[in-house]
Structure formats: structure tokens, C-alpha cells
């Protein structure tokens, strides 16, 4: 099963994943509101009188949190694919793929 996931990634699943996720995100009202709030908060953050050192720490923290969240979203997407394939194999709706980790 992991071989299937590796093959999907190698064959461009990442690009497909990004495009399909972006399409759904742009149609999601909660996501769009959160992005709007994020932009407003970024503007407020930029107007704070932080020192260069403070700004570097905060920027590094924001970048790290963003990277972690993005990676977690990618992992969740791939686990969804793996779980779907596992379920389809167990229901014998597809053949030729080994179920399991």
C-alpha cells in the first residue's frame, strides 16, 4: 500500500492535490473568512513597534506553524487516499493492491 502512495506522489499527485484542494478552499466560506481575518491580523502585526529581533522571532514562529499545518494537511490528504484504497480493496471493489501498512 505504501508503494501505491509513493507511486502516486512520484506521478504528480502533489500537484493534483494542491489544485483540487485550492478549488475547494476557494469555495469554502469559513476558509475565505479565516483568510480575510489572517490578512487583517497581518496588517495589524506589521504596524506593531517590534524590534528587529522580536519581529524575526515572531516571523520564524509563524513560518514554522504554517509549514507544520501545511505538512499535516498533505499527510491527511494522503492518509485519506490510502484509507480509501484500503477500504476498496477490503470490499473487493479493486484488485491487485495489497491492503495494509
DSSP per-residue codes, 54-89: HHHHHHHHHHHHHHHHHHHHHHHHHHHHHHHHHHHH
Prediction pTM value? 0.70
Residue 101 is assigned to a structural domain of this protein: no
Q: Decide: 4 and 88 in contact? Cβ < 8 Å.
A: no
Q: Indicate the length of the chain as a whole number.
A: 101
Q: Looking at the 3D structure of the chain, how many domains does it have?
A: 1
- For residue 26, pLDDT over 70 is answered with yes
Structure confidence at residue 98 (pLDDT): 65
- For residue 32, pLDDT over 90 is answered with yes
Residue 37 is assigned to a structural domain of this protein: yes
Residue 55 is assigned to a structural domain of this protein: yes
Q: Decide: 94 and 18 in contact? Cβ < 8 Å.
A: no
Residue 29 is assigned to a structural domain of this protein: yes
Q: Where in the sequence is the domain holding 38, given as residue range(s)?
A: 2-90
Would you call 101 helix, strand, or coil by DSSP? coil
Q: Which of 8-12, 31-35, 55-59, 64-68 has the lowest mean pLDDT?
A: 8-12
* Residue partners of 2: CB distance under 8 A and separation at least 6: 101
Residue 34 is assigned to a structural domain of this protein: yes
Q: Cα–Cα distance between 16 and 39 in angstroms, integer?
A: 26
Residue 44 is assigned to a structural domain of this protein: yes
Residue 65 is assigned to a structural domain of this protein: yes
Q: Which of 35-39, 43-47, 78-82, 86-90 has the lowest mean pLDDT?
A: 78-82
Residue 63 is assigned to a structural domain of this protein: yes
Amino acid at each position: 500500500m505504501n508503494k501505491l502512495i509513493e507511486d502516486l506522489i512520484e506521478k504528480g499527485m502533489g500537484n493534483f492535490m494542491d489544485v483540487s484542494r485550492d478549488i475547494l478552499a476557494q469555495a469554502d466560506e469559513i476558509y475565505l473568512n479565516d483568510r480575510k481575518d489572517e490578512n487583517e491580523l497581518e496588517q495589524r502585526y506589521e504596524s506593531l513597534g517590534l524590534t528587529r529581533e522580536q519581529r524575526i522571532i515572531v516571523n520564524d514562529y509563524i513560518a514554522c506553524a504554517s509549514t507544520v499545518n501545511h505538512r499535516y494537511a498533505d499527510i491527511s490528504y494522503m492518509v485519506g487516499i490510502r484509507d480509501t484504497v484500503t477500504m476498496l480493496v477490503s470490499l473487493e471493489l479493486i484488485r491487485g493492491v495489497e491492503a495494509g501498512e
